[in-house]
Amino acid sequence: MFRLRLRGYLRAAAEAGLPPAAVRVWEQPGHSVADGCSAGRALLSLPGPERPAAVLASTDVLALGVLQAARELGLHVPRDLSVTGYDDIDESSRGLPPLTTVHQDLYQQGQDCARRLISPGSATTLLHPTRLIVRDSTAAPPGPP
């Protein structure tokens, strides 16, 4: 699942004209807020031009940890950093600031998984629709000085 999200992200970045070198992929073991905070501290402590202007986390939980790391480091989201998650969990709308996220119907995905467990003969890959939920954790990048 995460590999499919990464492929989609990299394809969208290429279609937007971003050179591959501009897209850093950071893999973080674990999926807790603490894990996201740890990755956020590492990324956001990079010197000047190496520090990202935006983070797209593979889950809202990790993105909430990145928001925490940004606060700890004195960064203002979204002025200094844009953060986006994935899943649209309830907590994402209560983040500080509320988290921009990619919504997917987790309930429907759970039903589909249960059906596959009950009837394992189906090998059909199901793709579920998504939509971007823009909240207060993202902004347009600053223009040239």
**Entry pTM:** 0.85
How would you class 97 by CB atoms within 10 Å of its CB: exposed for 0-12, middle for 13-18, buried for 19 or more?
A: middle
- Six token digits for residue 140: 């347009």
Q: Per residue in 52-86, pLDDT tens?
A: 999 999 999 999 999 999 999 999 999 999 999 99
Q: Per residue in 107-131, pLDDT tens?
A: 887 888 888 888 877 667 777 888 9
Beta-strand relationship, 130-133 and 100-104:
antiparallel
Strand (E) or helix (H) holding 14: helix 2-15
C-alpha span between 99 and 134 (Å, rounded): 8
What's the mean pLDDT in 23-46? Answer: 92
